[in-house]
Homo-oligomer: A and B are copies of this chain.
Amino acid sequence: MENEGRGLHMKVLESLGPAIAAGAYPAGTVLRTDELEHRFEVSRTVVREAVRVLESMQLVESRRRVGVTVRPPEQWNVFDPYVIRWRLAGADRPRQLRSLTALRSAIEPAAAALAAESATPAQCAALTEHALGMVSTSRGRQLTAYLVHDIAFHRVILAASGNEMFARLGDVVAEVLTGRTRHHVMFPDPDPSAVTLHVRVAEAVREGDAAGAERLTREITVGAMAELEVLAPEFDSEAEHA
Contacts and interface: CB of A to CB of B under 8 A. Distances in A.
A234 interface: no
Contacts of A166: 102-103, 106
A77 B78 contact: no
Interface residues of A, number: 45
B105 A82 contact: no
Q: Report copies per complex.
A: 2
A65 interface: no
B162 A241 contact: yes
A83 B36 CA distance: 29
Contacts of A80: 56, 77, 79-80
A74 interface: yes
Contacts of A98: 163
Contacts of A105: 110
A167 B162 CA distance: 25
Interface of A: 9, 45, 48-49, 52-53, 55-57, 73-74, 77-82, 95, 98-100, 102-103, 105-107, 109-111, 114, 118, 120, 159-160, 162-168, 237-238, 240-241
